[in-house]
């Protein structure tokens, strides 16, 4: 299959992984976020966007064995260790969509401080606090969260 959306010469398996990935990416990150990412995709970034959608979202996030809540916890811990402030904020919002409470997110970040260091956790707590404040009631009320479909 040859088109801009799937990439030149994409195999049927790649196309399926891309479609699965886009579905999971939208469920976890939200349509608005994904629509912005797609809109900002250029010729320069298209292969990267396809890669993360196909591999991260279409292959890893869809694997059996861990639910989306657990994957969100792991992702937040790793992003804390790497000090990826923008990604932390994005994945805090995703964690809420996956059913984590603000208290659970705080515990993940506190646990990460022991292994990733206090300065890294300090950055993560600041990013998480901003993201949770932006979400408002959605972060506090479990009935307003998405939940896990995996």
pLDDT tens digits along 51-110 = 999 999 999 999 999 999 999 999 999 999 999 999 999 999 999 999 999 999 999 999
Q: What per-residue confidence (pLDDT) applies to 9? A: 67
Q: Which domain holds residue 136?
A: 68-144
Q: Is residue 6 part of a domain?
A: no
CA gyration radius for the chain? 16
Domain boundary among 60, 78, 96: 60
Q: Which carries the bigger pLDDT value, residue 52 or residue 2?
A: 52
Q: What per-residue confidence (pLDDT) applies to 150? A: 42
Q: Is residue 150 part of a domain?
A: no
User: What is the per-residue pLDDT across 13-36, written as a single tens digit (0 to 9) for each?
Assistant: 989 999 999 999 999 999 999 999
Question: Do 101 and 51 share a structural domain?
Answer: no
Q: What per-residue confidence (pLDDT) applies to 68? A: 98
| pLDDT-derived band at 137, boundaries 50, 70, 90 | confident
pTM: predicted TM-score of the whole model, two decimal places: 0.85
- Specify the length of the chain in residues: 150
Q: What per-residue confidence (pLDDT) applies to 102? A: 97
Q: What per-residue confidence (pLDDT) applies to 47? A: 96
Query: Quick check: 125 pLDDT over 80?
Result: yes
Cα 142 to Cα 25, 107, 135: the distances in Å are 21, 17, 12
Domain boundary among 60, 77, 95: 60
| Both structure tokens of 46 | 């298209």
Domains contained in the chain, number: 2
């Amino acid at each position: 299959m040859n088109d801009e959306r799937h990439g030149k010469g994409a195999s049927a398996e790649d196309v399926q992984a891309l479609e699965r990935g886009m579905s999971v990416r939208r469920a976890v990150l939200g349509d608005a976020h994904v629509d912005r990412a797609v809109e900002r995709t250029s010729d320069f970034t298209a292969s990267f966007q396809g890669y993360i959608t196909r591999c991260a979202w279409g292959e890893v996030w869809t694997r059996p064995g861990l639910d989306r809540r657990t994957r969100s916890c792991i992702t937040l811990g790793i992003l804390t260790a790497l000090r990826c402030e923008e990604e932390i904020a994005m994945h805090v919002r995703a964690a809420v969509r996956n059913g984590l409470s603000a208290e659970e997110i705080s515990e993940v970040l506190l646990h990460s401080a022991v292994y990733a260091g206090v300065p890294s956790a300090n950055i993560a707590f600041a990013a998480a606090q901003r993201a949770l404040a932006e979400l408002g009631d959605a972060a506090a009320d479990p009935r307003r969260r998405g939940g896990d479909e995996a």
